Amino acid sequence: MGKLVMWNLMTLDGYFEGTKKWDLDFHNKVWGDELEQLSIEQLRQCNSLVFGRVTFEGMAAYWTTATGEGEVAGFMNSIPKIVFSRTLTKADWNNTRLVKDNIAGEIATLKQSKKDSYIFGSADLSATLMKLGLIDEYRICVVPVVLGGGTPLFKLNSEQLKLQLLSTQVLKNGGVILRYASNTNN
């Protein structure tokens, strides 16, 4: 059975973007051969990508015109994608399906695959999925940067989320990849 995996880059102080939308310059601090290879490995084993509206629109705008991105761009443009949105009327990015309701049912269907599905960015959708207990694994690359402000990856929540450490990987450039399993799914 497949898992739903949250995969994000996050600053040491907990932000997945800076103070402006798509302020992601800190990603350059850790992007390199190691992270590219990890991304390709994950995409090879991926059933589908899951997005909220804002992340979907930004990713679609970038990847449909990406040049010089090689294998990653090929995967991003061909892999099945699901965007959860109540406001979008269409999703034009290749191989994308728009879902307006029944989040839990759609995620349950995704998990029937033998491969994992990945949610990128999408902090609001991720908060909803976390609250519903639907995320099975968290993969976070901590970037050794303190922004001092921005959009937090994890939204305020009245309930504590307990996780089990699966592995750590230190990148040559100082990034640290942390893998955690959700204790609600163990």
Domain ranges of the chain: 4-185
- Pairing mode of beta strands 81-84, 176-182: unpaired
Q: Are 17 and 155 in contact (CB under 8 A)?
A: no
Q: What is the pLDDT of residue 184?
A: 58
Identity of residue 44: R
Q: What is the pLDDT of residue 119?
A: 95
Percentage of the chain exceeding pLDDT 70: 96
The CATH H-level superfamily of 4-185 is Dihydrofolate Reductase, subunit A (3.40.430.10)
What is the DSSP secondary structure assignment for residue 185, as one 8-state letter?
G
Q: Are 26 and 18 in contact (CB under 8 A)?
A: yes
- Pairing mode of beta strands 15-17, 151-152: antiparallel
Q: What is the pLDDT of residue 44?
A: 87
pLDDT tens figures, 65-90: 886 667 888 888 899 999 999 999 99
Q: What is the phi/psi pair of residue 2, to 5°?
A: -75, 160
